[in-house]
Chains A and B, each alone.
Chain A
Amino acid sequence: MWAWLLRRIGQIIPTLIILSFMIFGLQQLMPGDPALILAGEERGDPLVLQQIREELKLDRPIVEQYLYWVGNVVQGDFGFSWRIRMPVTDLILQKLPVTIQLATMSFLIAIVIGVPLGILSAVKRDTPTDWAANGVALFGISTPNFWLGIMMILLFSVELGWLPPSGYVPLWEDPVQSLATTIMPAFVLGTGVASVLMRHTRAAMLTALSQDYIRTARAKGVSEKSVIRRHALRNALIPVVTLGTIEFGRLLAGAVLTEQIFTIPGFGKLVVDAVFNRDYPVVQGVVLATALIFVLLSLIADILYMAINPRLRQA
Chain B
Amino acid sequence: MADPVLELRDVTISFPTDRGLLRPVDGISFAVAPGRTTAVVGESGCGKSVTALAIMGLLPSGGRIGGSIRLAGREVSTLTPEEWRGKRGGEMAMVFQEPMTSLNPAFTAGEQVAEALRIHQRLDPKAAFDRAVEMLARVRIPDAARRARQYPHQLSGGMRQRVMIAMALACRPRLLIADEPTTALDVTVQAQILALIDEMKRETGTAVVLITHDLGVVADHADDVVVMYAGRVAERAPAEQLFATPQHPYTIGLLGAAPKLEGGAARLASIEGTVPDLLHPPAGCRFAARCPFAIEKCREQSPPLGEVLPGHNVACWRAPLDTLLEVAA
**What is the bound-complex CA distance between A223 and B118, given in angstroms?**
12
**What is the bound-complex CA distance between A231 and B112, given in angstroms?**
10
Contact B119 A222 (CB under 8 A): yes
Smallest CB gap from A212: residue in B: B101
Contact A221 B103 (CB under 8 A): no
**What is the bound-complex CA distance between A217 and B102, given in angstroms?**
9
Interface segment, one of B91-99, B186-194, B270-278: B91-99
**Which of B88, B90, B103 meets A218, CB within 8 Å?**
B88
B154 at the interface (CB under 8 A from A): yes
- Interface contact tally, CB-CB below 8 A: 76
Instruction: Answer whether A217 and B58 are a contact pair too, CB < 8 Å, given A212-B98, A310-B151, A311-B153.
Output: no
B120 at the interface (CB under 8 A from A): yes
Instruction: Answer whether A216 and B116 are a contact pair too, CB < 8 Å, given A221-B88, A223-B85, A311-B151.
Output: no
Q: Which of under 10, 10 to 19, 20 to 34, or 35 or more describes the interface residues of B?
A: 20 to 34
Chain B residues whose CB sits within 8 angstroms of the CB of A215 once the complex forms: 58, 96, 102
Q: Mark B147-168, 1 if CB is under 8 A from A, else 0.
A: 0000101100000000010011
Chain B residues whose CB sits within 8 angstroms of the CB of A219 once the complex forms: 56, 58, 88-89, 93-94, 96, 168
A220 at the interface (CB under 8 A from B): yes
Q: 8 Å CB contacts to B: which residues of A205-262?
A: 211-213, 215-224, 231, 234-235
A236 CB to nearest B CB, Å:
10
B6 CB to nearest A CB, Å:
16
Contact A221 B102 (CB under 8 A): no
Chain A residues whose CB sits within 8 angstroms of the CB of B93 once the complex forms: 219-220
B87 at the interface (CB under 8 A from A): yes
**What is the bound-complex CA distance between A222 and B86, given in angstroms?**
9
Most buried by B among A220, A235, A311: A220
A75 at the interface (CB under 8 A from B): no
**What is the bound-complex CA distance between A235 and B106, given in angstroms?**
6
A314 at the interface (CB under 8 A from B): yes
Q: Mark A271-315, 1 if CB is under 8 A from B, else 0.
A: 000000000000000000000000000000000000000110010
A313 CB to nearest B CB, Å:
8
Smallest CB gap from A312: residue in B: B153
**Which of B56, B102, B154, B168 meets A213, CB within 8 Å?**
B102
B179 CB to nearest A CB, Å:
10
B125 at the interface (CB under 8 A from A): no
Chain B residues whose CB sits within 8 angstroms of the CB of A311 once the complex forms: 105, 151, 153
Contact A217 B104 (CB under 8 A): yes
**What is the bound-complex CA distance between A310 and B115, given in angstroms?**
18
Q: Is the interface of B mostly helix, strand, loop or mixed?
A: helix
**Which of A213, A221, A224 meets B104, CB within 8 Å?**
A213
Contact A221 B119 (CB under 8 A): yes
Chain B residues whose CB sits within 8 angstroms of the CB of A223 once the complex forms: 85, 119
**Which of A218, A224, A234 meets B106, CB within 8 Å?**
A234
Contact A218 B58 (CB under 8 A): yes
Contact B153 A216 (CB under 8 A): no
Contact A222 B151 (CB under 8 A): no
Chain A residues whose CB sits within 8 angstroms of the CB of B90 once the complex forms: 221
**What is the bound-complex CA distance between A211 and B152, given in angstroms?**
14
Contact B101 A213 (CB under 8 A): yes
**What is the bound-complex CA distance between A211 and B167, given in angstroms?**
18
**What is the bound-complex CA distance between A211 and B168, given in angstroms?**
18
Chain A residues whose CB sits within 8 angstroms of the CB of B105 once the complex forms: 213, 235, 310-311
Most buried by A among B56, B104, B120, B168: B104
**What is the bound-complex CA distance between A224 and B94, given in angstroms?**
18
Contact B102 A216 (CB under 8 A): yes
Chain A residues whose CB sits within 8 angstroms of the CB of B112 once the complex forms: 216
**Which of B96, B107, B116, B164 meets A221, CB within 8 Å?**
B116
Instruction: Answer whether A220 and B104 are a contact pair too, CB < 8 Å, given A212-B98, A310-B151.
Output: no
Chain B residues whose CB sits within 8 angstroms of the CB of A211 once the complex forms: 101
Contact A221 B85 (CB under 8 A): yes
Smallest CB gap from A216: residue in B: B102
A151 CB to nearest B CB, Å:
41
**Which of B89, B98, B101, B106 meets A220, CB within 8 Å?**
B89
Smallest CB gap from A234: residue in B: B106
Chain A residues whose CB sits within 8 angstroms of the CB of B115 once the complex forms: 217, 220, 222
Q: Mark B208-235, 1 if CB is under 8 A from A, else 0.
A: 0000000000000000000000000000
Contact B87 A216 (CB under 8 A): no
Contact A220 B151 (CB under 8 A): no
B159 CB to nearest A CB, Å:
16
Contact A231 B88 (CB under 8 A): no
**What is the bound-complex CA distance between A178 and B71, given in angstroms?**
64
A163 CB to nearest B CB, Å:
42
Extra A-B contacts (12), CB below 8 Å, given A212-B101, A213-B101, A220-B93: A211-B101, A213-B105, A215-B96, A216-B96, A218-B85, A220-B167, A220-B168, A224-B81, A235-B106, A310-B105, A310-B106, A314-B151
Report 30 cross-chain contacts, Cβ distance below 8 Å, ordered by A residue: A212-B98, A212-B101, A213-B101, A215-B58, A215-B96, A216-B96, A216-B102, A216-B104, A216-B112, A217-B104, A219-B56, A219-B89, A219-B94, A219-B96, A219-B168, A220-B89, A220-B93, A220-B116, A220-B119, A221-B85, A221-B89, A221-B90, A221-B116, A221-B120, A222-B89, A222-B115, A224-B81, A231-B104, A310-B105, A310-B151
Would you list the 6 A-B pairs with minimal beta carbon distance, nearest first? A220-B89, A221-B89, A212-B101, A213-B104, A221-B88, A234-B106
